[in-house]
Amino acid sequence: MINFSCTKCGHAYSVPDEYAGKKVRCKQCQTVNTIPAAAVSSSAGAKKDCADSIAAYNNLLNELLRYEKQAPKVEIES
């Protein structure tokens, strides 16, 4: 479902996703509004954000491993 409000009077509407992009007249003030596109579901967005975070974390770990291999060896005397 797409939830949106009239751009003039703010009257709230809820319509099925297939009406995205269609023009409708507000029942309260008669202003013509375009129904916005359906929002991406939060679970799909969250999965993408999670995958992006994991990829960034893995890249950071690989970079740290490269630096660790390049670091000079130090001997500690006791």
Predicted local distance difference test score (pLDDT) of residue 13: 94
What range defines the domain where residue 44 resides?
40-71
For the cut 70, the answer to whether the pLDDT of residue 43 exceeds it is: no
Span 3-35, pLDDT tens digits: 999 999 999 999 998 999 999 999 999 999 999
Looking at the fold, whether 44 and 67 belong to one and the same domain comes out as yes
Query: How do residues 59-70 score in pLDDT, each as one tens digit?
Result: 999 999 888 888
3-state SS of 23-40? EEECCCCCCEEECCCCCC
- The structural domain count of the chain equals 2
**In-domain check, residue 57:** yes
Q: How deeply is 19 buried, as exposed, middle or buried, from its count of CB atoms within 10 A (0-12, 13-18, 19+)? A: middle
Q: Is 60 exceeded by the pLDDT of residue 42? A: no
Residue 76 lies in a domain: no
Together in a domain, 44 and 25: no
In a domain, 77, yes or no: no
Q: Distance between CA atoms of 31 and 8, rounded to whole angstroms? A: 7
Q: Is the pLDDT of residue 75 over 90?
A: no
Q: If you average pLDDT over residues 46-56, what whole number do you get?
A: 82
